[in-house]
Amino acid sequence: MQSHPFKHSWVPYIFVAPQIIIILIFFLWPAGQAVQQSFYREDAFGLSSEFVGFLNYAEVLDDPEYTSTVLFTLLFSALVTVFSIALSLLLAVQANQVIRGADTYKTLLMWAYAIAPPAAGLIGGLLFSPLVGDLYQLLNNIGFDFNHNRNSSDAIFVVVLIAVWKQLSINFIFFLSGLQSVPNSVLEAARIDCPGAIKRFWTITFPLLAPTTFFLLVINTTYAFFETFGIIDLTTKGGPGGSTTTLVYKIYQDGFLGADFGGSSAQSVMLMVFVVVLTVFQFKFIDKKVHY
């Protein structure tokens, strides 16, 4: 394909222009602004700003709240990724092997892809609400002193559960299609060589799913970092005491609600750098261990 492209034409410039213009205005300009603002500090009225060097960065890094936000974000994305990948793999393996009701199961397990995170947050939050929540009643009746508005660990439990719930469907879709693309001949040969079903899964099938798992690892980390904003905003609002504040939630809180543009920009820039490093790391180190 690439060996015989069209040459000498105005067409590619016109065709690529809308995309590039949108990126320039709504990607590079804001990203540049974030970098610039991270070195400036505005006065209380937003009338003037002065160059402060790395002061905003130093303050953010010195802030114990920021450290706990980083730790929570890492813990949160690890929990969400591990549980949603493990559960969806279990479900996909079973769904791949049933005959009766297979299509119904698939539909019931993949529809939640389409639910908006805030909608999931609202429903999940109300299930655990002290006022009406059945799960709140249940947990307290069986002896837990449960209240996600007061206890940090309960709050973390609630946001992780809702985030996993919402993410199961997409992982399920990818695992199921990964399983369906394993050639039958491979499975038959495996059945002869390796009679134990569980051992067969871990030695033959799972390594064949490695590219899918790797891909889902990237997707789920991104999801936990960025797309869970709506879940957190409609359940714990980052509380109690900042215990469920993710990095993106803190940028929003400090920048939009707190009007600390310098600090929030410094956080944005650090998050951008972190995401780029993480992506490169995932591709360099994990990707190598995956056999395609």
Partner 1 sequence: MQVKTVINKKRLQALFRHSVLISGALFLVMPLWIALMSSTHSPEALFREGLQFLPGSYGYETYSQILMGSDLLSAPAWRMLLNSLILGLGFAIGKVIISMIAAYALVYFRFPLAVPLFWMIFMTLLLPLEVRIIPSYEVVAKLNLLNSYTGLIVPLIASATGTFFFRQFYRSVPAELLEAARIDGAGPLRFFIDILIPLSTTMMAAIFIIMFVAGWNQYLWPLLMTTDPEYYSIVIGIRQVFQTLNEGGTLPQFNIAFGLTVLATIPPVLVVVIFQKMFVKGLVETEK
CA–chain centroid gap for 95, Å, is 25
Coil vs helix vs strand at 197: helix
Binding characters for partner 1, 262-281, by CB under 8 A (x = yes): --xx--x--xx--xx--x--
90 touches partner 1 (CB under 8 A): yes
Q: 80 with 164: CB under 8 angstroms?
A: yes
Residue 203 beta carbon to partner 1: minimum distance, rounded to whole angstroms: 19
151/267 Cα distance (integer angstroms)? 27
7 or 289, CB closer to partner 1? Answer: 7
From candidates 74, 87, 204, 286, binder to partner 1 by CB under 8 A: 87
Nearer to partner 1, 80 or 271 (CB): 271
In the complex, the smallest distance separating the C-beta of residue 71 from partner 1, rounded to whole angstroms, is: 19
126 counts as binding partner 1 under rule CB under 8 A: yes
> Between 112 and 210, whose beta carbon lies closer to partner 1?
112
| Distance of closest approach, residue 53 Cβ to partner 1, in angstroms | 19
- The CA-to-CA distance between both ends of the chain, in Å, stands at 23
CA distances from 291 to 38, 172, 218, 288 (A): 42, 21, 17, 8
- Residue reference for tokens 């015989």: 4
Stretch that binds partner 1, among 53-61, 66-74, 75-83, 246-254 (CB under 8 A): 246-254
Give the number of other Cβ atoms within 10 Å of residue 101's Cβ: 10
Of the pair 128, 156, the CB lying nearest partner 1 is at 128
Q: b vs e for 189-226, b when ≥16 Cβ sit within 10 Å of the residue's Cβ?
A: ebeeeeeeeeebeeebbeebbbebbbebbbbbbebbbe
Indicate whether 139 belongs to the interface with partner 1 (CB under 8 A): no
Token readout for 115 is: 């639910």
Q: Which of 37, 56, 77, 167 binds partner 1 (CB under 8 A)?
A: 37
Instruction: Tell the smallest beta-carbon distance from residue 112 to partner 1 (Å).
Output: 5
Name which of 8 and 289 has its Cβ closer to partner 1: 8
Closest CA to 72 of 220, 214, 248, 258: 248
Of 216, 138, 144, 220, residue with least CA distance to 177: 216
Contact 168, 87 (CB under 8 A): yes
Residue of 53, 82, 97, 153 that binds partner 1 (CB under 8 A): 97
Interface of this chain with partner 1, residues 198 to 217, rule: CB under 8 A? 215
Element (H, E) at 32: helix 29-37
Q: Which of residues 5-34 bind partner 1 (CB under 8 A)?
A: 5-7, 9, 11-13, 15-16, 18-20, 22-23, 25-31, 33-34
187 binding partner 1? (CB under 8 A): no
DSSP class of residue 254 equals I
Binder of partner 1 out of 101, 130, 207, 241 (CB under 8 A): 101
Applying CB under 8 A, the span of 58-66, 70-78, 85-93, 188-196 interacting with partner 1 comes to 85-93
123 is an interface residue for partner 1 by CB under 8 A = yes
Nearer CB in complex with partner 1: 25/189 = 25
